[in-house]
Structure 1
């Protein structure tokens, strides 16, 4: 589970930067436009038979829940290749439902329960939900109350997944309690109540244990499709090739050559382009006053390439530490270049954030946004994200924040003249 990040697309577009914070240690929920695009992709793949000539998988999900407070429907949200697509739904009557559908390939999904008038919760992630695997045959679930507490009986994929969850659930329970408190607390009060601090502390305790259990599962199950999904969970919103590449390469070829595996292999190639040891991709970007700044301008210096945005709460909270590091280490041949991913509509907010946070280093703007130009060149999918380069332009470290940034700079930079 990674630190707090702001993924793309931005979430919770409220007035304050704190209100834009989301926890990507849990789930990312795409925009409505993105959902439509993913649904069209799923339908196209299904109808055209383009998913590596695999036969479509027919599945049935039968459920029995406890009493509900009103009319409700269950929706199926795909993950993996079809991230966020809502492809199936069924009405819940007297707590019971049956959902039948077809999927091009077995894979992970979320079953989401939405009460009448609460459809927005389907998009925000606040609705009652359960992760499961779509596989041939019938999956049966039952619960005295919510989907979250449902017992599942299904095929081999769901049986294997439930075994993994039995290991992870008790470890994640303290963090889940704090997550519930975090979401129940108004954004403006999260820092004052201390829930954000306690959440970060608990995350630091939980993360290494969860990663150890997940890594062990992958190593013990190289022929399992679930292992591929676990590797992507381990990758988090800001993956590195060093963390996930070796695990993927140790999977059996039968998993690597699935549609999901081939898609992930493509992502790994992009990660390798900005892995530690690689030469940082070149770019030229405009400043606020129209000058062009090129990465090549920084050759001969250690430089931190910092991706951020005015609306990103974690970025803004990290800025004071970055300012301190910049002032402390600048005499030791160190520079920072900030790359804003604010949209054209947020240009004024970007400039105000630079002024409010008193950022003294060069600031450039990526007017193409997230989907073109420098962001995909550096495989940036969530922020804050940064890359530390040596004087030859090679990447020597990534995603340095807080004390880790301070200690790394102190170790690698030459002494001041």
Structure 2
């Protein structure tokens, strides 16, 4: 009896050890392992993980397909949306790259919609893509309807439906975030949405606020949240510089050290001109601005030039003013594009101009040549 108990105990120990050895060891911190199956894909072809950096696609990892499978292993600090491409297969597969184990079942006929499992973020991304596919497929049906339409009235009705679906698709990303404020993927999706130049600022802020519990979950999400918050501030500042808005007032040092405020020198029409002595296009445009100024200064035109000259280049700035006969107000801090006024006006390239009416409202931007004179003529003639 004692022998039987000993054998039974030994069997249980062996079974327990066997179960433990079958479990995968946890990965080191900030490490990812992506296991992919690629049925029908030829041995030796390569799979790539790509990132977009400064509007360029950069390859960050490569794997070779063997026996219809591939594995990526590497380090990543924060979750982010990346793409996978495979030689000889059309399209790309967007997914969430994050620490941990991820599985991908490659669909050769639809790489974009290949399922990615192993993390909640990727499961949410699968759901997002499936719903987007469902909605966008309706457009294909309308194309067939349009071909078969027999009257203009029918065609107009189909066009109206197509526009409605297109509008809904454009808004789908932000709507998904609104409906899934507890998802880490929603935060990553919001990070991609802020690059849209037509983004609805109020919707952006609303979604960002709703995602605060997600942002506060860990350091990685806090880092993404800080980036989005910074972008929101930039978008808000840019929105305040749209035509129809009151131009931000500023006070800056003149070339002689006197402090000059925009509100103190505004005329019936005012040009805020960002330029620099080193800027070739600015210098070539200066004769046109001089001609417009001479023609309209007695009718109420004022100009304030904001120099983006580099540190230590005060004499170059001063010489350019004299050489080009720029006989109007000039301010500058000799900080290049870090000039406080340039940052206030979100100026990233020059020449750049803002034309204000007598109330300080922005009526036009970035006008040069004949267009500048036509705008001033419209305001003062």
TM-score (norm 1): 0.46
TM-score (norm 2): 0.50
Q: Greater CA radius of gyration, 1 or 2? A: 2
- Whose relative contact order is higher, 1 or 2, with alpha carbons under 8 Å and at least 6 apart? 1
